Amino acid sequence: MRQVIGVGNRWRSDDAAGLLVAQRLRGTTAAEVVEHEGEPTALLDVWDGADVVWLVDAVSSGSVPGTVHRLDAGTEPLPAALFRASSHLVGLGETVELARTLDRLPARVVFYGIEGASFEAGDGVSPAVAAAVERVVEAIRREAG
């Protein structure tokens, strides 16, 4: 099974980036598409049985807003520096490492992090993030089929 999982919070401005990617991909790829707004640790159950996962989330590393970070999370930890603005007790990077330790990480996990500008309360993304969402949608369409 192949999955695209968009992670985020639609009410925290640019934090909705992963959810927007998932929304744009729904019905346009052979992979199952999931929008995930809950705690990252719940992903262990969400991706259970998946062979390949494209995981998309907003990040806050200090890079230029709209920067797209693409990493192979199946073979290396996600850098903690990408998730400086997380509001979760256990963040996405820690969840991936927990899954790896428990042998519950899919064989291949491609992570796309979209650098956000604002994580304040609000229901719209910045123009730089909106453009990055489109770039990531196209990249995943090419990869996932």
* Number of domains the chain contains: 1
Percentage above 90 pLDDT, the chain: 80
In whole angstroms, how far apart are CA 67 and each of 38, 61, 62, 92?
24, 10, 10, 18
Q: What dihedral do alpha carbons 126, 6, 140, 144 form, nearest 10°?
A: -170
* pLDDT class of 16 with cuts at 50, 70, 90: very high
Model confidence over 33-66: pLDDT tens digits?
A: 999 998 899 999 999 999 999 999 999 999 999 9
Pair 29, 21: CB distance under 8 Å = no
Average of per-residue pLDDT values in the chain: 92
| Domain coverage including residue 136 | 2-144
pLDDT in tens, 87-140: 555 688 999 999 999 999 999 999 999 999 999 998 899 999 999 999 999 999
pTM over 0.85: yes
pLDDT digits (tens, 9 = 90+) for 68-93: 999 999 888 888 888 765 555 568 89
15: domain CATH number?
3.40.50.1450
